[in-house]
Amino acid sequence: MFIKDYISKDYPIFGYHDSIEEAREIAKDFGYTHIFIKRKGVYAGALSVSFLEDVAEGNLGNLEIHFERFAILADANLLDTVRLFHIFNSNIVPVIGTTEKYLGYISTDDVFCEFSKFPLFSENGAVLTIQTPTKNYSFTEIANIVESNNGKIYGCYINQVNDDNYWITFKISSQNLSSIDETFERYGYSVVHKHYDDSKDELMKDRFGFFQKYLEF
């Protein structure tokens, strides 16, 4: 999951003397939110395409004061891009080497395509969000609760934390859900959200719906 394994190189980086109009048109053709600028072979920063639309003609170097300084190193992890996409409202992040030379870019499509292969997203199962007091947080215990009920964890993340509580969301195999819920509650956890995403469950819901309709006649 190193960035260097996902670098694309078809999007150009511009120089200080390139025109704003040219950069704007190329960016529109690609559909990306930002353009990248270099100076003397070194990455200098990025400019939002929406900002360029309101700028008069001239050279990109004239806009240096507006450059946004964000990039990611080629040996960084794919997960590190998510924060940059969010902070800079971008669908593309420039990739640089240790000497700050522009190597290419990585896009949100690249990242989401790779994430979609993770069992957390690709496997059918139940998605649970549990709440536990911060002082009692133990992922070892959480894993033991699931696995002691013959469940398997496909992935998880901490989606909220404060001084008092942790909220943990994870996807598990869909066997023995009721016993897993009961065990969590017995150990002092609160199951605050559960979504059962499985074809067997959908079949049971359909059959229950037909049964309800039958009783109404």
Q: What is the pLDDT of residues 43-56, one digit of tens each?
A: 999 999 999 988 87
Mark whether 109 and 127 lie in a shared domain. no
Question: In the prediction, which pLDDT does 75 show?
Answer: 94
Average pLDDT, the chain: 87
| Whether 184 and 85 share a structural domain | no
Residue 23 lies in a domain: yes
Residue 140 Cα distances to 35, 68, 105, 134, 187, angstroms: 45, 42, 38, 14, 13
The answer to the question of residue 212 being in a domain is: no
Can you read off the two tokens belonging to residue 60?
Answer: 């990109």
Instruction: Looking at the structure, tell me whether residues 52 and 96 fall in a common domain.
Output: yes
Domain assignment present for residue 204? The answer is no
Q: What is the 3-state secondary structure (H, E, C) of 6-43?
A: CCECCCCCEECCCEHHHHHHHHHHHCCCEEEEEECCEE
Q: Examine residue 175 and state whether it is found in any structural domain, yes or no.
A: yes
> What pLDDT was estimated at residue 210?
46
Segment 143-168 shows an average pLDDT of 92
Q: How confident is the model at residue 209 (pLDDT cuts 50, 70, 90)?
A: low
Cβ proximity of 197 and 172 under 8 Å: no
pTM reported for the whole predicted model: 0.76
Q: How confident is the model at residue 195 (pLDDT cuts 50, 70, 90)?
A: confident
String of b and e for 21-45 (b: at least 16 CB within 10 Å)? eebbebbeeeebbbbbbbeeeebbb
Same domain, 26 and 54: yes
Q: Is residue 46 classed as helix, strand or coil in its secondary structure?
A: strand
Reported as a pLDDT band with limits 50, 70 and 90, residue 36 is: very high
8 and 102 fall within a common domain: yes
Question: Does the pLDDT of residue 215 top 50, yes or no?
Answer: no
Cα distance between residue 172 and residue 197, in whole Å: 10
Do residue 133 and residue 102 come from a single domain?
Answer: no
Q: In this prediction, what percent of the chain has a pLDDT beyond 90?
A: 66
Give the CATH number for residue 159: 3.30.70.1340
* Domain limits for position 129: 119-197
Q: Is residue 202 part of a domain?
A: no
Q: Who contacts 58 (Cβ-Cβ below 8 Å, separation ≥6)?
A: 19, 20
- pLDDT value at position 14? 96
* Closest by CA position to 4, among listed 100, 101, 96, 114: 96
Based on the domain organization, do 130 and 188 belong to the same domain? yes
Domain end call among 114, 149, 173: 114
Residue 209 lies in a domain: no
74: DSSP letter:
T
What would the pLDDT profile of 104-131 be if each residue is shown by its tens digit?
A: 999 999 998 888 888 888 888 889 999 9
- Which of the 8 DSSP states describes residue 56? P
